Amino acid sequence: MVVKIDEDACIACGLCEEACPVDALTIEDVAKVDADICEDIGDCVDVCPVDALSL
Protein backbone atom coordinates (compact mmCIF):
# COMPACT_ATOMS: atom_id res chain seq x y z
CA MET A 1 0.00 0.00 0.00
CA VAL A 2 1.06 3.55 -0.66
CA VAL A 3 -0.61 6.89 -0.04
CA LYS A 4 -3.43 7.72 -2.46
CA ILE A 5 -3.57 11.14 -4.09
CA ASP A 6 -6.78 12.83 -5.26
CA GLU A 7 -5.27 14.62 -8.24
CA ASP A 8 -8.39 16.75 -8.76
CA ALA A 9 -8.16 18.08 -5.20
CA CYS A 10 -4.39 18.65 -5.02
CA ILE A 11 -3.31 22.30 -5.30
CA ALA A 12 0.42 21.46 -5.52
CA CYS A 13 1.24 23.41 -2.36
CA GLY A 14 4.25 21.23 -1.54
CA LEU A 15 3.50 20.73 2.16
CA CYS A 16 3.37 16.95 1.79
CA GLU A 17 6.74 16.92 0.06
CA GLU A 18 8.24 18.85 2.99
CA ALA A 19 6.54 16.61 5.56
CA CYS A 20 7.55 13.23 4.13
CA PRO A 21 10.43 11.79 6.19
CA VAL A 22 11.49 9.38 3.43
CA ASP A 23 11.17 11.80 0.48
CA ALA A 24 8.56 9.69 -1.30
CA LEU A 25 6.63 12.68 -2.67
CA THR A 26 7.46 15.07 -5.48
CA ILE A 27 5.39 17.91 -6.86
CA GLU A 28 4.84 18.03 -10.60
CA ASP A 29 1.50 19.42 -11.80
CA VAL A 30 0.18 17.70 -8.68
CA ALA A 31 1.75 15.59 -5.96
CA LYS A 32 3.20 12.24 -7.08
CA VAL A 33 4.21 9.39 -4.80
CA ASP A 34 7.06 6.96 -5.46
CA ALA A 35 5.54 3.60 -4.54
CA ASP A 36 8.99 2.07 -4.08
CA ILE A 37 9.81 4.58 -1.33
CA CYS A 38 6.47 5.25 0.44
CA GLU A 39 6.16 3.46 3.79
CA ASP A 40 2.58 4.49 4.65
CA ILE A 41 3.74 6.76 7.46
CA GLY A 42 0.96 9.29 6.92
CA ASP A 43 2.68 12.57 7.81
CA CYS A 44 1.63 13.89 4.39
CA VAL A 45 -2.01 13.06 5.07
CA ASP A 46 -1.87 15.12 8.26
CA VAL A 47 -0.48 18.26 6.60
CA CYS A 48 -2.50 18.37 3.37
CA PRO A 49 -4.76 21.46 3.56
CA VAL A 50 -7.32 20.09 1.08
CA ASP A 51 -7.52 16.46 2.23
CA ALA A 52 -6.13 15.21 -1.09
CA LEU A 53 -4.17 12.40 0.55
CA SER A 54 -5.32 9.19 2.18
CA LEU A 55 -3.83 5.88 3.27
Q: Which residues of this protein are in contact with ligand SF4, per CB under 6 A?
A: 5, 10-16, 27, 31, 47-48, 50, 52-53
Closest CB 36 distance from ligand SF4, rounded Å: 19
CB of 42 to ligand SF4, least distance (A): 12
Identify which of residues 4 and 36 has a Cβ nearer to ligand SF4 in the complex.
Answer: 4
In 3D, which of 53, 55, 28 has the Cα closest to residue 41?
A: 55
- CA geometry: angle 34, 24, 45, nearest 5 deg: 105
Q: Kindly calculate the radius of gyration of the chain based on its CA atoms and give it in whole angstroms.
A: 9
